[in-house]
Amino acid sequence: MIRSVITGTGSALPAQAVSNAELAERVDTTDEWIVERTGIRQRHIAGEGETTSTLATEAARKALDAAGIAADEIGLIVLATATPDHTFPATATQVQHALGCGTGIAFDVAAVCSGFLYALATADSMLQTGMAKKALVIGSETFSRILDWEDRTTCVLFGDGAGAIVLEAREVETDGPGIIATKLHADGEHKELLYVDGGPSTTGEVGKLRMKGREVFRHAVVNLADVLREVIGDAGVAVEQIDWVVPHQANARILDATARKLGLPAEKVVVTVDRHANTSAASVPLALDVAVRDGRIGKGDLVMFEAMGGGFTWGAALARM
- List the catalytic residues: 113, 248, 278
Give the residue at shortest CB distance from ligand UT7: 213
Q: How far is the CB of 18 from ligand UT7 (least distance, A)?
A: 14
- Report the C-alpha gap between 24 and 45 in whole angstroms: 15
User: Which residues within the stretch 277-296 sit at the binding site for ligand UT7 (CB under 6 A)?
Assistant: 278
Partners of 107 in the β-ladder: 78
Please identify, among the stretches 90-98, 149-157, 196-204, 284-292, the one whose residues bind ligand UT7 according to the rule CB under 6 A.
149-157
- Give the residue with the Cβ less far from ligand UT7, 270 or 308: 308
Interface stretch with ligand UT7, choices 6-14, 139-147, 248-256, 289-297 (CB under 6 A): 248-256
Contact 224, 254 (CB under 8 A): yes
Is 10 a binding residue for ligand UT7 by CB under 6 A? The answer is no
Contacts with 233 (C-beta within 8 Å, 6 or more apart), sequence order: none
CA 28/CA 281 separation, integer angstroms: 27
Bridge partners of residue 241, in order along the sequence: none
Is residue 147 involved in binding ligand UT7 (CB under 6 A)? no
Nearer CB in complex with ligand UT7: 166/254: 254
Nearer to ligand UT7, 32 or 65 (CB): 32
185 forms part of the interface with ligand UT7 (CB under 6 A)? no
Per DSSP, the three-state class of 13 is coil
Q: Is 251 in the site for ligand UT7 (CB under 6 A)?
A: yes
Largest CA distance in the chain: 56
Q: Which helix (H) or strand (E) holds 235?
A: helix 213-235
Using CB under 6 A, pick the residue from 220, 255, 270, 319 that binds ligand UT7: 220
Compute the least distance from the CB of residue 87 to ligand UT7, in Å. Answer: 22
Residue 214 within binding range of ligand UT7, rule CB under 6 A:
yes
Q: Reduced to 3 states, what is the DSSP secondary structure of residue 296?
A: coil
As to burial, measured by CB atoms within 10 angstroms (0-12 exposed, 13-18 middle, 19+ buried), residue 212 is middle
Nearest alpha carbon to residue 106 among 118, 117, 97, 115: 97
* Residues 51-90 as x/- pattern, contact with ligand UT7 by CB under 6 A: ----------------------------------------
Total chain residues near ligand UT7 (CB under 6 A):
20
Instruction: By CB under 6 A, tell whether 247 contacts ligand UT7.
Output: no
Angstrom distances, CA of residue 78 to CA of 56, 64, 93, 122, 131: 11, 15, 9, 8, 13
Helix axes 52-67, 283-293, angle to 10 degrees: 40
For ligand UT7, which residue of 7, 9, 11, 38 counts as binding (CB under 6 A)? 38
Q: Which residues bind ligand UT7 (CB under 6 A)?
A: 29, 33, 37-38, 113, 152-153, 156-157, 213-214, 216-217, 220, 250-251, 254, 278, 308-309
